[in-house]
Copies of this chain bind each other. A is one copy, B any other.
């Protein structure tokens, strides 16, 4: 790899100049007035990938286009799909930016601009990494396909239909996503698990009309009181979800995972201070990181019913509602959990009220076995690129596109993040440290080789 690494160092000026030029295009996908800029950012990327040796297309979707770039010069070797996005969050100097969000500057060793880390900077690592290998060696050790969409910051509404329609063209042995981050500065991470989701809306119906609490209070079952009791019944005093069957399919944390999480530089006091709470909470028997990453939850997301204006109105509401959701962990099934929670709610609903439960949304949890070849390859590449072994972490949220790739393409998804937690993605003065940029480019260059070596036949990389 010596010649590849020399090539990376020699082209630092080009890599940086190109990233800064790309950052100057305000590709805010949520802003209809920026549609021309969004399109320009797509064409800019396609042009760079063409020059690097890829066959590119700015492919129409139902919304902003997707850039698809293919290099298929390694027959018999694995095929790798790199996913990223070229659109960015809105940004305005009025939001607290020191400079202009779309006029990038280098300050204190970091590029400061909207999109610097999320996701133009991280996509650029892979563009530069692949280009360096192609320039130094004339060929990549894997077949490589870029899929870079333009709607990630506004919902990825057209991504799943696009992937479905192009599932043969996008067929691959592994998906690489660099849209997450290091665990902390200098602690690069591979994210191997995501939580899923099931989202319900519950309405408790009592009397057929709002009633006067003087005339009827004490004899009518109040649906707001009933809802409170039903929601309270969903947890036990130890913070466990008190729904029969809820934990049936939860895969227990393995010993190495608990040890790995426990060893992370995680500052619970700083989290408490940041959130302004005197104490954290959760399920007994688990640490905070275990609760966040590997244990399922049941949170009330919204609550409404009766009189909510100023002052006092003595009403017994006709109905009361809540939105609630469970974060799911492997191997929980959204339908099974939704059914179990619904059954518990029905069971807890008192006589005199009726309950209606609607399922609004569901997403399966994701777990890529940490010893899968694709993960092992990514660990090797990060160790070489950053000069330190990555930690293996999970993420508490759901990333719908990850679950969609796994489901639609049947390939493992490896999340390798180059940015830092304090890079201010979505915030003012978003940045990407130059150290991380170069480490990311090196990691990318190593990754193709590591993936090729992990399973030269390309048949069982998962």
Using a CB–CB cutoff of 8 Å, the interface residues on chain A facing chain B are 195, 197, 199, 206-209, 211-222, 224-225, 227-229, 231-233, 235, 275-283, 288, 291-292, 295-308, 311-317, 320-323, 325, 327, 350-354, 360-361, 395-398
Report Cα–Cα, A398/B199, bound state, in Å: 42
Residues of chain B with a CB closer than 8 A to A304's CB:
303-305, 308
**Is there an interface contact between A220 and B277, defined as CB atoms closer than 8 Å?**
yes
- Min C-beta distance of A275 to chain B, whole Å: 4
Could you pull out 29 A-B pairs where Cβ atoms are within 8 angstroms? A207-B275, A207-B276, A211-B275, A213-B301, A214-B327, A215-B396, A217-B292, A217-B396, A219-B280, A219-B288, A219-B292, A220-B275, A220-B280, A220-B282, A221-B279, A221-B280, A228-B231, A228-B232, A301-B315, A302-B305, A302-B308, A302-B315, A302-B317, A303-B303, A303-B304, A303-B308, A303-B320, A307-B323, A312-B325
**Is there an interface contact between A350 and B275, defined as CB atoms closer than 8 Å?**
no
Closest to A286 in B: B218
Report Cα–Cα, A307/B299, bound state, in Å: 12
Closest to A293 in B: B218
**Is there an interface contact between A300 and B222, defined as CB atoms closer than 8 Å?**
yes
Report Cα–Cα, A349/B228, bound state, in Å: 14
**Is there an interface contact between A302 and B313, defined as CB atoms closer than 8 Å?**
yes
Q: Of B219, B301, B314, which is within 8 A of A224 by CB?
A: B301
Residues of chain B with a CB closer than 8 A to A213's CB:
297, 299, 301, 325, 327
Interface centre among A216, A227, A228 (most CB of B within 10 A): A228
Closest to A281 in B: B221
Interface centre among A219, A233, A291, A292 (most CB of B within 10 A): A219
Report Cα–Cα, A258/B217, bound state, in Å: 19
Report Cα–Cα, A218/B313, bound state, in Å: 35
Closest to A288 in B: B219
**Is there an interface contact between A360 and B311, defined as CB atoms closer than 8 Å?**
yes
Given A199-B314, A301-B224, A396-B218, answer yes or no on A281-B323 (Cβ-Cβ < 8 Å): no
**Is there an interface contact between A195 and B214, defined as CB atoms closer than 8 Å?**
yes
- Min C-beta distance of A44 to chain B, whole Å: 31
Residues of chain B with a CB closer than 8 A to A235's CB:
225, 229
Given A301-B316, A313-B301, answer yes or no on A277-B221 (Cβ-Cβ < 8 Å): yes
Closest to A235 in B: B225
Q: Which 8 A-B pairs have the closest CB atoms?
A: A214-B397, A208-B276, A232-B232, A228-B231, A224-B300, A302-B306, A221-B281, A218-B291
Residues of chain B with a CB closer than 8 A to A311's CB:
360
**Is there an interface contact between A350 and B281, defined as CB atoms closer than 8 Å?**
yes
Residues of chain B with a CB closer than 8 A to A301's CB:
213, 224, 306-307, 312-317
Residues of chain B with a CB closer than 8 A to A320's CB:
300, 303
Q: Of B275, B306, B351, which is within 8 A of A303 by CB?
A: B306
Residues of chain B with a CB closer than 8 A to A395's CB:
214
Residues of chain B with a CB closer than 8 A to A314's CB:
197, 199, 301, 325, 397
Q: Of B215, B220, B228, which is within 8 A of A300 by CB?
A: B228
Report Cα–Cα, A298/B282, bound state, in Å: 29
Given A228-B227, A231-B225, answer yes or no on A217-B299 (Cβ-Cβ < 8 Å): yes
Q: Of B218, B281, B327, which is within 8 A of A283 by CB?
A: B218
Residues of chain B with a CB closer than 8 A to A299's CB:
213, 217, 222, 224-225, 316
Q: Of B227, B316, B323, B327, which is within 8 A of A312 by CB?
A: B323
